[in-house]
Every structure is written in C-alpha cells, then in structure tokens.
Structure 1
Amino acid sequence: MVNITRAADLTMVGANGGGWVAPVGTAALASPLAQPTDPWQALGAISDDGLVNGWDEESQQFTPWGLTSPFRTQITQSVRTFSLTVWETSRLPVMSLHYRIDEDDLAPVSGITKFAETASPVPDRRAFWFLVIDGDSYRGFYVPQGEINERSDVTYKQDEMSGFEWTITTYPDAAGNTVYHVDKIPATPADPLS
C-alpha cells in the first residue's frame, strides 16, 4: 500500500508581512528579520489580500513533422511580479511611488501638499523588500530593480478602505537576476519508508 506523507510545518500561510522601498542600488538586508533602516522606507499597512508573487511566462513549442506533441519547448518570456494593495495612501513613500513623484516634491508647505500629475511619466525603478511571516518560518524577497507597471482605480467610499493596488514588475540587475529569495523553512523530514 502507498504511504501518503504530509507535514503541516512545511506549509506556508501568509499570516503577517510587510514591504519596504528604497532607491535602486540599495543593498539587500544583511539579516532578513532585521528592521529595515534608512534608506529603506515602509509601505505601511497592506490589505488583508496580502502579497501575490506572480509569474508570467510564454514559450514556443517545437513539434516535428509526424508527431502530435512537441519534443522541445523554449521559454521566450519569463516575468516576475509582485501585487499588493497598500492602505496608507497618505504615507510619503507610498504617494511618491503611486504618482511617480520625488518625495521632496510632496513636502507640505504651510500644511498643504500640492502636486501635479504629468501626462508623460518617466520610468521610476526602485528596490523593494518584501517579507512574509508564518510563525517561525519566513520568506523574504529582495527586488533590486522593480517598477509599478499596473495601478488600479482608487475608490473613496464610506464603507470601503481606499488603497493603491499595484503590480510591480521586476527587472534584471547587473548579475541578470530579478528576485533574490531568503527563506527560513523547516527541514523536510525523511520519508519513513525510504
């Protein structure tokens, strides 16, 4: 009879987590559980939808004459994304990201912040750090170069929290990497029947 093995401690629930942003070129944190410090800035409260790490891949299949299934597949596009909704829409780093405006241009004058949105936005790449925590386990994602390439509509309504919903596309660094993973997960136990 087949022995089915299961280990609950090898699962991951995004029970808690956070996100930070810094200028491109900012190094990854030396310790994943250390509190990020300047130049890292918190994105603040993230909606209870959490963080979505996405893959967008396309491939080309090569099927030889006389066969009905491919004998080779070549990946032609592989894009990594992170999606989240930030709720602290008045936090300066969040406003800076959403509107592609330097934080210095958002500084209040006499208590009032004024800015204009351009009809010709320019690229706005930044470094990102995301941490997902589940008890003693965690997953960290360092994005050396990322940019918000999708923004949702923002709703201002009495019974709904306003938020900025983003999809961040990752770009390769000088080493050709888009995302660096730092995970603390329990060791997989040996199969008792092996």
Structure 2
Amino acid sequence: MAANVVAGKPLATGGVLIAALGTVLPTDATTALDEAFKGAGYIGEDGLTETTERSTEKVKAWGGDTVKVLQTDFAVSYQFTFLETLNGDVLRTVYGDANVTTTPATAEAGTLHAVKINGETLPHKTFVFEVKDGEARIRIVVPDGQITEVGEVTYADGEVVGYQVTVEAFVDPTLGANAVKYVDDGKKTA
C-alpha cells in the first residue's frame, strides 16, 4: 500500500543528535528528547545509511549437504556526513572531547576552536537519528556508538568542508540490541 512508503527526510530541528553515554534514552518515535542531546546540524544530502552485516559459516554433512548455518559475526553501523564544521559538538564528536578546546566569541574574535588531530581512540557516545515524512516518524536510537572511520576531508573552492563518518553501534546489554528503531505511522484515530 502506497501509504506505507516513507521518504527519509530529517526533522526540521535536525536529523542527528548526540549525547554522552548514560543519557536517558527515548522509548518511542515522538517524545521530546532529554536536553542533554545536542543537534549536529546539517548532514550531507546523501542522508543516513544503515548497514547491517551478518557473517555465516555453513556446516556440511558427509556428502555435501548443508545441515546448519552458523552466524559468526554481526554488526550494525551508520554512515553520514557532518556539514557543520564550525559546530563545537560536531568537532568534539569527530576528533574526541579531549582534543577540542572552544573559546567563546569576544569583541576581538569569533568562537575559536583548537582541534588536536591525533590517534587517540574516539569516545563512545549516544546517537539518535530522526526521520520524518508528513506525520510519519522514525527514530533510531544507538545507545552506545563510536565513530570508527572518518573519511578524507577536502578543503577546496566550490566544496563545503564535511566529515564523512561511520558510527559503529555496540550492543546495549539493557536493550539486548545494537540499536532500536521506533516507527510511528502518524495516523491517529479520531
């Protein structure tokens, strides 16, 4: 049915929100988020890509018949591009909290960010991805996510600077899942 088809547009308030581990998690698609969540601003036009990977191994009996398929690996990750490269929350997420020092704007200079680029492991954070289409809402909650890849950063005329990232979603023992997707079709009863 065509009414069940949804486009993946971000909410007007932002499609990617970030908070520290342990922040109170949402449990549905529409309830207001804890104030600890900070918006990451604009995300690249390719939006958000969810990748689920399962590795399996076939066990064969004598004669070649497959008698069992074992799952040997499972992973969930999300890819997107941060476009707001002057956003302090984005810089701390991409480079690590301890590697970004922010000085508020003064009469002499705007907001200043000093960013250390080093090999330190990036911190685990909580991510929420917000999607809408008309009244329909999808909220994806990653209780424990870590940026595991940052793509090349290009500084060139005619291009915006962006940070293409991959967020690995780790299993949350309380939820028993790497991520939770809440879907509300927006069709309320009278």
Q: What's the TM-score once normalised by structure 2's chain length?
A: 0.84
Q: CA deviation at 1:122?
A: 2.8
- Structure 1 counterpart of 2:36: 39
* Structure 1, unaligned runs of 5 or more: 1-6, 188-194
8 Å CA contact 2:125–2:144 kept in 1: the answer is yes
Give RMSD over aligned pairs: 2.1
- For residues 143 and 163 of structure 1, the distance between their equivalents in structure 2, rounded to whole angstroms, comes to 22
Contact 2:60 2:68 in 1 (8 A): yes
Question: By percentage of residues, which structure has more strand?
Answer: 2
Aligned residue among 1, 4, 9 for 1:10 = 4
Identity of aligned pairs, percent? Answer: 21
Report the Cα distance in structure 2 between the residues aligned to 1:102 and 1:136, rounded to whole angstroms: 40
Residue in 1 that maps onto 2:46: 49
Return closer, same or farther for 1:115/1:83 CA change in 2, 3 Å cut-off. closer
Q: How far 1:123 moved relative to its partner?
A: 4.3
Matches within 5 A, 1:128-147: 128-147=127-146
Match of 1:82 among 70, 73, 78: 78
**Are 2:127 and 2:144, in contact at CA under 8 Å, matched by a contact in 1?**
yes
Contact 2:28 2:139 in 1 (8 A): no
- 8 Å Cα contact 1:9/1:186 also seen in 2: no
Q: 1:35 and 1:158 mapped to 2: Cα distance?
A: 39
Distance in 1 (CA, whole Å) between partners of 2:6 and 2:148 is 28
Question: TM-score, normalised on structure 1?
Answer: 0.83
- The SS at the match of 2:159 is coil
Structure-2 separation of matches of 1:63 and 1:186 = 48
In structure 1, how many angstroms separate the alpha carbons of the residues matched to 2:143 and 2:186? 27
The corresponding residue for 1:185 is: 185
Shifted more, 169-178 versus 71-80: the winner is 169-178
Q: Larger C-alpha radius of gyration, 1 or 2?
A: 1
Say whether the 8 Å CA contact 2:136–2:185 is kept in structure 1: yes
Measured after TM superposition, the shift of residue 48 of structure 1 is: 1.0
Counterparts of 1:86-101 in structure 2, within 5 Å, are 86-101=82-97
- Structure 2 residues without counterparts, runs of 5 or longer: none
Runs of 4+ aligned structure 1 residues displaced above 6 Å come to none
Offset, 1:178: 1.1
Where does residue 116 of structure 2 map in the other structure?
Answer: 116
- Do the aligned residues in 1 keep the contact of 2:59 with 2:69 (CA within 8 Å)? yes
